[in-house]
Amino acid sequence: MYPLRRNRRLRTTEAIRSLVRETTLSPNDFLVPLFVVEGKGVKEEIASMPNYYRYSLDLLAKEVKELWSLGLKSVLLFVKVPENLKDNSGTEALNAEGLMQRAIKTVKDAVPEMLVMTDVALDPYSIFGHDGIVSEGKILNDDSSAVLAEMALSHAKAGADFVAPSDMMDGRIFEMRTLLEDEGFHDTGIMSYSAKYASAFYGPFRDALDSAPVDEKDVPKNKSSYQMDYANREEAIKETLMDIEEGADIVMVKPGLCYLDIVRDIRNAVNVPVAVYQVSGEYAMIKAAAEKGWLDHDAVVLEQITAIKRAGASLIASYFAKDVVKLIS
Ligand code: PBG
Protein backbone atom coordinates (compact mmCIF):
# COMPACT_ATOMS: atom_id res chain seq x y z
CA MET A 1 0.00 0.00 0.00
CA TYR A 2 1.22 3.53 -0.85
CA PRO A 3 3.72 4.83 0.23
CA LEU A 4 5.12 1.40 1.18
CA ARG A 5 4.69 0.45 -2.46
CA ARG A 6 5.87 3.10 -4.87
CA ASN A 7 5.81 1.55 -8.34
CA ARG A 8 8.06 4.29 -9.69
CA ARG A 9 11.03 2.92 -7.71
CA LEU A 10 11.46 0.32 -10.46
CA ARG A 11 11.58 3.08 -13.08
CA THR A 12 14.08 5.52 -11.58
CA THR A 13 17.10 4.76 -13.77
CA GLU A 14 17.84 2.92 -16.99
CA ALA A 15 19.85 0.41 -14.96
CA ILE A 16 16.87 -0.68 -12.88
CA ARG A 17 14.49 -0.46 -15.83
CA SER A 18 16.65 -2.77 -17.88
CA LEU A 19 17.04 -5.12 -14.91
CA VAL A 20 13.30 -5.65 -14.55
CA ARG A 21 12.34 -5.43 -18.24
CA GLU A 22 10.07 -8.35 -19.15
CA THR A 23 10.57 -8.43 -22.92
CA THR A 24 13.82 -7.96 -24.84
CA LEU A 25 14.66 -8.35 -28.51
CA SER A 26 17.58 -10.23 -30.01
CA PRO A 27 18.62 -11.28 -33.53
CA ASN A 28 17.35 -14.77 -32.63
CA ASP A 29 13.77 -13.48 -32.73
CA PHE A 30 13.73 -12.80 -36.45
CA LEU A 31 12.92 -14.40 -39.72
CA VAL A 32 13.90 -12.17 -42.66
CA PRO A 33 11.53 -12.17 -45.66
CA LEU A 34 13.42 -11.86 -48.96
CA PHE A 35 12.08 -11.19 -52.47
CA VAL A 36 13.90 -12.81 -55.36
CA VAL A 37 13.82 -12.00 -59.10
CA GLU A 38 15.45 -13.32 -62.25
CA GLY A 39 18.40 -11.44 -63.70
CA LYS A 40 21.88 -10.38 -62.72
CA GLY A 41 22.98 -7.46 -60.61
CA VAL A 42 19.35 -6.60 -59.83
CA LYS A 43 18.49 -4.81 -56.61
CA GLU A 44 15.23 -2.99 -57.20
CA GLU A 45 13.37 -1.05 -54.57
CA ILE A 46 9.69 -1.97 -54.07
CA ALA A 47 7.65 1.19 -54.67
CA SER A 48 5.30 0.75 -51.71
CA MET A 49 8.05 -0.63 -49.44
CA PRO A 50 10.78 2.05 -49.27
CA ASN A 51 14.26 0.66 -48.55
CA TYR A 52 13.11 -2.91 -49.26
CA TYR A 53 14.30 -4.69 -52.40
CA ARG A 54 13.95 -7.53 -54.83
CA TYR A 55 17.28 -9.27 -55.42
CA SER A 56 18.60 -11.35 -58.28
CA LEU A 57 20.41 -14.51 -57.17
CA ASP A 58 23.91 -13.00 -57.24
CA LEU A 59 22.90 -10.13 -54.96
CA LEU A 60 20.75 -12.45 -52.84
CA ALA A 61 23.97 -14.30 -51.96
CA LYS A 62 25.55 -11.02 -50.89
CA GLU A 63 22.52 -10.03 -48.84
CA VAL A 64 22.33 -13.29 -46.90
CA LYS A 65 26.02 -13.02 -46.03
CA GLU A 66 25.32 -9.60 -44.59
CA LEU A 67 22.31 -10.91 -42.66
CA TRP A 68 24.43 -13.70 -41.22
CA SER A 69 27.13 -11.23 -40.15
CA LEU A 70 24.44 -9.29 -38.26
CA GLY A 71 23.36 -12.43 -36.40
CA LEU A 72 20.22 -13.03 -38.47
CA LYS A 73 20.07 -16.77 -39.03
CA SER A 74 16.78 -17.45 -40.83
CA VAL A 75 15.27 -16.27 -44.08
CA LEU A 76 11.84 -16.68 -45.66
CA LEU A 77 12.01 -16.73 -49.46
CA PHE A 78 9.46 -15.37 -51.93
CA VAL A 79 9.89 -15.26 -55.70
CA LYS A 80 8.59 -12.92 -58.38
CA VAL A 81 7.73 -15.21 -61.25
CA PRO A 82 7.99 -13.99 -64.87
CA GLU A 83 4.52 -13.48 -66.36
CA ASN A 84 5.04 -16.00 -69.16
CA LEU A 85 5.61 -18.80 -66.64
CA LYS A 86 2.32 -18.29 -64.82
CA ASP A 87 -0.72 -20.54 -65.29
CA ASN A 88 -3.73 -21.67 -63.24
CA SER A 89 -2.18 -24.69 -61.58
CA GLY A 90 1.31 -23.61 -60.57
CA THR A 91 3.19 -25.79 -63.06
CA GLU A 92 6.31 -23.64 -62.72
CA ALA A 93 6.23 -24.00 -58.93
CA LEU A 94 7.28 -27.64 -59.36
CA ASN A 95 10.17 -26.90 -61.72
CA ALA A 96 13.32 -28.31 -60.07
CA GLU A 97 15.27 -25.53 -61.83
CA GLY A 98 12.72 -22.82 -61.04
CA LEU A 99 13.64 -19.52 -59.40
CA MET A 100 12.67 -20.65 -55.89
CA GLN A 101 14.61 -23.89 -56.18
CA ARG A 102 17.69 -21.98 -57.40
CA ALA A 103 17.24 -19.36 -54.69
CA ILE A 104 17.29 -22.06 -52.00
CA LYS A 105 20.56 -23.42 -53.37
CA THR A 106 22.01 -19.92 -53.68
CA VAL A 107 21.37 -19.17 -50.01
CA LYS A 108 22.73 -22.55 -48.90
CA ASP A 109 25.86 -22.10 -51.03
CA ALA A 110 26.44 -18.58 -49.67
CA VAL A 111 25.78 -19.39 -46.00
CA PRO A 112 25.35 -23.14 -45.38
CA GLU A 113 24.15 -22.67 -41.78
CA MET A 114 21.42 -20.19 -42.71
CA LEU A 115 17.95 -21.59 -42.00
CA VAL A 116 15.98 -21.45 -45.22
CA MET A 117 12.20 -21.29 -45.15
CA THR A 118 10.18 -21.07 -48.34
CA ASP A 119 6.78 -19.68 -49.17
CA VAL A 120 4.38 -22.33 -50.38
CA ALA A 121 1.32 -20.93 -52.17
CA LEU A 122 0.31 -20.57 -55.79
CA ASP A 123 -0.27 -16.81 -56.00
CA PRO A 124 3.16 -15.81 -57.39
CA TYR A 125 2.71 -18.53 -60.03
CA SER A 126 -0.99 -17.98 -60.72
CA ILE A 127 -2.30 -16.09 -63.76
CA PHE A 128 -5.26 -15.22 -61.52
CA GLY A 129 -3.27 -14.13 -58.47
CA HIS A 130 -4.84 -16.74 -56.20
CA ASP A 131 -3.21 -19.06 -53.70
CA GLY A 132 -4.96 -22.08 -55.21
CA ILE A 133 -6.42 -23.33 -58.47
CA VAL A 134 -9.38 -21.33 -59.80
CA SER A 135 -12.39 -23.05 -61.34
CA GLU A 136 -15.75 -21.46 -62.18
CA GLY A 137 -15.38 -18.64 -59.71
CA LYS A 138 -14.11 -20.87 -56.89
CA ILE A 139 -10.79 -21.94 -55.42
CA LEU A 140 -10.49 -25.73 -55.53
CA ASN A 141 -9.39 -26.94 -52.12
CA ASP A 142 -8.16 -30.50 -52.53
CA ASP A 143 -6.63 -30.09 -55.98
CA SER A 144 -4.76 -27.04 -54.69
CA SER A 145 -3.52 -28.89 -51.60
CA ALA A 146 -2.15 -31.68 -53.79
CA VAL A 147 -0.11 -29.19 -55.84
CA LEU A 148 1.03 -27.38 -52.69
CA ALA A 149 2.29 -30.65 -51.23
CA GLU A 150 4.28 -31.31 -54.42
CA MET A 151 5.61 -27.77 -54.23
CA ALA A 152 6.74 -28.32 -50.64
CA LEU A 153 8.47 -31.54 -51.68
CA SER A 154 10.23 -29.73 -54.51
CA HIS A 155 11.52 -27.11 -52.06
CA ALA A 156 12.68 -29.81 -49.66
CA LYS A 157 14.55 -31.53 -52.48
CA ALA A 158 16.24 -28.22 -53.34
CA GLY A 159 17.44 -27.95 -49.73
CA ALA A 160 14.81 -25.96 -47.83
CA ASP A 161 14.89 -26.55 -44.07
CA PHE A 162 11.27 -25.48 -43.55
CA VAL A 163 8.36 -24.98 -45.88
CA ALA A 164 5.88 -22.27 -45.01
CA PRO A 165 2.42 -22.77 -46.55
CA SER A 166 0.69 -19.36 -46.66
CA ASP A 167 -2.39 -20.43 -48.61
CA MET A 168 -5.05 -21.44 -46.01
CA MET A 169 -6.44 -24.46 -47.90
CA ASP A 170 -8.01 -27.04 -45.57
CA GLY A 171 -5.94 -30.12 -44.95
CA ARG A 172 -2.82 -28.96 -46.75
CA ILE A 173 -0.57 -29.47 -43.74
CA PHE A 174 -1.61 -33.14 -43.56
CA GLU A 175 -1.05 -33.57 -47.32
CA MET A 176 2.34 -31.96 -47.10
CA ARG A 177 3.52 -33.78 -43.97
CA THR A 178 2.45 -37.12 -45.40
CA LEU A 179 4.21 -36.56 -48.71
CA LEU A 180 7.40 -35.30 -47.03
CA GLU A 181 7.45 -38.35 -44.73
CA ASP A 182 6.78 -40.76 -47.60
CA GLU A 183 9.66 -39.24 -49.54
CA GLY A 184 12.08 -39.42 -46.63
CA PHE A 185 12.14 -35.72 -45.69
CA HIS A 186 11.57 -36.42 -42.02
CA ASP A 187 13.53 -33.38 -40.85
CA THR A 188 11.96 -30.82 -43.16
CA GLY A 189 9.84 -28.63 -40.91
CA ILE A 190 6.49 -27.00 -41.60
CA MET A 191 5.72 -23.49 -40.44
CA SER A 192 2.02 -23.13 -41.10
CA TYR A 193 0.35 -19.79 -41.66
CA SER A 194 -2.43 -21.18 -39.50
CA ALA A 195 -4.39 -18.06 -38.55
CA LYS A 196 -3.99 -15.93 -41.63
CA TYR A 197 -6.59 -13.23 -42.00
CA ALA A 198 -8.01 -11.76 -45.21
CA SER A 199 -6.31 -8.42 -44.68
CA ALA A 200 -5.92 -5.14 -46.54
CA PHE A 201 -2.41 -4.91 -45.09
CA TYR A 202 -0.98 -7.25 -47.77
CA GLY A 203 -1.19 -4.63 -50.53
CA PRO A 204 2.50 -3.69 -50.78
CA PHE A 205 3.53 -7.38 -50.80
CA ARG A 206 1.28 -7.98 -53.80
CA ASP A 207 3.02 -5.05 -55.51
CA ALA A 208 6.37 -6.60 -54.70
CA LEU A 209 5.50 -9.89 -56.39
CA ASP A 210 2.88 -8.61 -58.83
CA SER A 211 0.58 -11.25 -57.33
CA ALA A 212 -2.74 -9.51 -56.62
CA PRO A 213 -5.98 -11.28 -57.66
CA VAL A 214 -6.88 -10.18 -61.19
CA ASP A 215 -10.16 -8.50 -62.00
CA GLU A 216 -11.69 -10.98 -64.43
CA LYS A 217 -14.96 -12.80 -64.90
CA ASP A 218 -15.16 -16.04 -62.88
CA VAL A 219 -12.17 -15.11 -60.73
CA PRO A 220 -12.86 -14.33 -57.05
CA LYS A 221 -12.08 -10.66 -56.40
CA ASN A 222 -10.44 -11.32 -53.06
CA LYS A 223 -9.16 -14.12 -50.84
CA SER A 224 -12.04 -14.18 -48.35
CA SER A 225 -13.14 -17.72 -49.23
CA TYR A 226 -9.90 -19.10 -47.80
CA GLN A 227 -8.22 -16.47 -45.59
CA MET A 228 -9.97 -15.78 -42.27
CA ASP A 229 -12.57 -13.13 -41.50
CA TYR A 230 -10.85 -10.51 -39.33
CA ALA A 231 -13.93 -10.34 -37.12
CA ASN A 232 -13.24 -13.86 -35.82
CA ARG A 233 -11.27 -14.93 -32.78
CA GLU A 234 -12.38 -18.45 -31.76
CA GLU A 235 -11.84 -19.62 -35.31
CA ALA A 236 -8.14 -18.76 -35.10
CA ILE A 237 -7.71 -21.30 -32.33
CA LYS A 238 -9.63 -23.97 -34.26
CA GLU A 239 -7.48 -23.40 -37.37
CA THR A 240 -4.27 -23.48 -35.36
CA LEU A 241 -5.08 -26.62 -33.36
CA MET A 242 -6.02 -28.43 -36.58
CA ASP A 243 -2.74 -27.47 -38.24
CA ILE A 244 -0.81 -28.78 -35.23
CA GLU A 245 -2.74 -32.07 -35.39
CA GLU A 246 -1.94 -32.29 -39.08
CA GLY A 247 1.78 -31.91 -38.40
CA ALA A 248 2.74 -28.24 -38.26
CA ASP A 249 5.94 -27.64 -36.24
CA ILE A 250 5.46 -23.88 -35.98
CA VAL A 251 2.17 -22.01 -36.31
CA MET A 252 1.61 -18.41 -37.30
CA VAL A 253 -0.65 -15.43 -36.80
CA LYS A 254 -0.74 -12.88 -39.60
CA PRO A 255 -0.83 -9.85 -39.78
CA GLY A 256 0.82 -8.66 -36.55
CA LEU A 257 -0.17 -5.48 -34.84
CA CYS A 258 -3.95 -5.59 -35.31
CA TYR A 259 -4.03 -9.22 -34.18
CA LEU A 260 -2.14 -9.25 -30.89
CA ASP A 261 -5.22 -10.52 -29.02
CA ILE A 262 -5.13 -13.57 -31.30
CA VAL A 263 -1.40 -13.99 -30.70
CA ARG A 264 -1.98 -14.15 -26.95
CA ASP A 265 -4.98 -16.49 -27.27
CA ILE A 266 -2.95 -18.87 -29.38
CA ARG A 267 0.15 -18.59 -27.20
CA ASN A 268 -2.03 -19.69 -24.27
CA ALA A 269 -3.71 -22.49 -26.24
CA VAL A 270 -0.76 -24.30 -27.83
CA ASN A 271 2.68 -25.62 -26.93
CA VAL A 272 4.49 -25.16 -30.23
CA PRO A 273 6.37 -22.00 -31.28
CA VAL A 274 4.10 -19.20 -32.46
CA ALA A 275 5.34 -17.03 -35.32
CA VAL A 276 3.94 -13.60 -36.06
CA TYR A 277 4.25 -11.93 -39.46
CA GLN A 278 4.50 -8.15 -39.31
CA VAL A 279 3.30 -7.65 -42.87
CA SER A 280 4.08 -5.30 -45.72
CA GLY A 281 1.26 -2.84 -44.98
CA GLU A 282 2.49 -2.47 -41.41
CA TYR A 283 5.95 -1.72 -42.78
CA ALA A 284 4.59 0.76 -45.34
CA MET A 285 2.56 2.68 -42.74
CA ILE A 286 5.58 3.32 -40.55
CA LYS A 287 7.73 4.30 -43.53
CA ALA A 288 5.11 6.73 -44.84
CA ALA A 289 4.52 8.42 -41.49
CA ALA A 290 8.27 8.69 -40.85
CA GLU A 291 8.87 10.16 -44.31
CA LYS A 292 6.39 12.88 -43.49
CA GLY A 293 8.15 13.51 -40.22
CA TRP A 294 5.03 12.56 -38.29
CA LEU A 295 6.50 9.63 -36.34
CA ASP A 296 9.93 8.70 -35.01
CA HIS A 297 10.73 5.71 -37.25
CA ASP A 298 13.16 3.83 -35.01
CA ALA A 299 11.19 4.36 -31.83
CA VAL A 300 7.94 3.19 -33.41
CA VAL A 301 9.61 0.13 -34.95
CA LEU A 302 11.04 -0.96 -31.60
CA GLU A 303 7.76 -0.32 -29.81
CA GLN A 304 5.68 -2.31 -32.29
CA ILE A 305 8.05 -5.25 -32.48
CA THR A 306 8.42 -5.40 -28.71
CA ALA A 307 4.62 -5.40 -28.47
CA ILE A 308 4.45 -8.34 -30.88
CA LYS A 309 6.91 -10.30 -28.76
CA ARG A 310 5.20 -9.28 -25.50
CA ALA A 311 1.90 -10.58 -26.91
CA GLY A 312 3.47 -14.02 -27.21
CA ALA A 313 5.43 -14.31 -30.45
CA SER A 314 8.25 -16.85 -30.33
CA LEU A 315 9.56 -15.59 -33.66
CA ILE A 316 8.76 -12.62 -35.85
CA ALA A 317 8.89 -12.31 -39.62
CA SER A 318 9.64 -8.65 -40.21
CA TYR A 319 10.93 -6.35 -42.95
CA PHE A 320 12.51 -4.36 -40.11
CA ALA A 321 14.70 -7.25 -38.91
CA LYS A 322 17.95 -5.64 -40.08
CA ASP A 323 16.97 -2.24 -38.68
CA VAL A 324 16.11 -3.71 -35.30
CA VAL A 325 19.32 -5.70 -35.02
CA LYS A 326 21.33 -2.58 -35.77
CA LEU A 327 19.28 -0.54 -33.28
CA ILE A 328 19.73 -2.97 -30.40
CA SER A 329 23.40 -3.76 -30.96
C1 PBG B 1 0.46 -15.08 -50.33
C2 PBG B 1 1.15 -14.31 -49.27
C3 PBG B 1 0.82 -13.01 -48.90
C4 PBG B 1 1.73 -12.63 -47.95
C5 PBG B 1 2.60 -13.68 -47.72
N6 PBG B 1 2.22 -14.74 -48.57
C7 PBG B 1 -0.22 -12.11 -49.44
C8 PBG B 1 -1.57 -12.62 -49.62
O9 PBG B 1 -2.03 -13.53 -48.93
O10 PBG B 1 -2.23 -12.09 -50.50
C11 PBG B 1 1.71 -11.26 -47.30
C12 PBG B 1 2.95 -10.78 -46.70
C13 PBG B 1 2.99 -9.31 -46.50
O14 PBG B 1 2.03 -8.56 -46.76
O15 PBG B 1 4.03 -8.86 -46.03
N16 PBG B 1 0.42 -16.44 -50.21
DSSP 107-123: HHHH-TTSEEEEEE-SG
Note the pLDDT of residue 34.
98
Query: What number is the average pLDDT over the span 62-79?
Result: 98
**Has residue 165 got a pLDDT over 90?**
yes
**Has residue 1 got a pLDDT over 90?**
no
Q: Using 50, 70 and 90 to split pLDDT, how confident is the model at 287? A: very high
DSSP 209-246: HT-PPP--TTS-SSSTTTSBPTT-SHHHHHHHHHHHHH
- In CATH terms, 24-328 corresponds, of 3.40.1160.10, 3.40.50.300, 3.30.530.20, 3.20.20.70, to 3.20.20.70
Query: What number is the average pLDDT over the span 72-89?
Result: 97
Closest residue (by CA) to atom 14 of ligand 1? 202
- Computed over every residue of the chain, the mean pLDDT equals 97
Residues with CB under 6 A from ligand 1: 119, 121, 123, 131, 166-167, 202, 205-206, 223, 279-280
Note the pLDDT of residue 73.
98
Picking from 318, 315, 313, 314, the residue whose alpha carbon sits closest to that of residue 301 is: 318
Picking from 60, 52, 76, 35, the residue whose alpha carbon sits closest to that of residue 209 is: 35
**Has residue 259 got a pLDDT over 90?**
yes
Q: What residues does each domain of the chain span?
A: 24-328
- Among 32, 276, 279, 308, the mutation site with the greatest number of ligand 1 atoms within 8 A of its Cβ is 279
Backbone angles phi, psi at 65, to 5 degrees: -65, -40
- Three-state DSSP state, 6: coil
**Has residue 141 got a pLDDT over 90?**
yes
Q: Residue 252 pairs with which residues in a beta bridge?
A: 275
Query: What number is the average pLDDT over the span 75-88?
Result: 97
**175 CA distance to ligand 1 centroid (A)?**
21
pLDDT tens sequence across 16-38: 999 999 999 999 999 999 999 99
Query: What number is the average pLDDT over the span 202-230?
Result: 95
pLDDT tens sequence across 127-138: 999 999 999 999
* Residue 14 marked in a binding site: no
Q: Using 50, 70 and 90 to split pLDDT, how confident is the model at 228? A: very high
Which atom of ligand 1 is nearest the CA belonging to 202?
A: 14
